[in-house]
Amino acid sequence: METTRLSSRGQIVIPKAIRAAHGWDSGAEFVVEEAGEGILLKPIRLFPLTSVRDVLGCAGYQGPPKTLADMEAAIAEGARRSR
């Protein structure tokens, strides 16, 4: 069990091993909830968890599949037009 201390500014450092285990980096945001004799920190997810099935077909393209060459040519044409 690890311990930490509340600073004079009301800050608590979450031990590095716990941050690493959860993948929490600097700037991570949390919801703070009262929980009996303590508090509960829940990370706020920037985006809801999704699966490929959730987003499959979100572009709405209905034509035949495009090749990598087709996509690269379209990107090059778009870049040429923007110059």
Q: What residues does each domain of the chain span?
A: 52-82
In the chain, the percentage of residues whose pLDDT exceeds 90 is 65
Say which residue, 48 or 38, is predicted with more confidence: 38
State pTM to two decimals: 0.51
Query: What is the rounded distance in angstroms from the CA atom of residue 15 to the CA atom of residue 17?
Result: 6
Query: What is the rounded distance in angstroms from the CA atom of residue 19 to the CA atom of residue 28?
Result: 10
pLDDT of residue 57: 66
Query: What is the rounded distance in angstroms from the CA atom of residue 83 to the CA atom of residue 77?
Result: 10
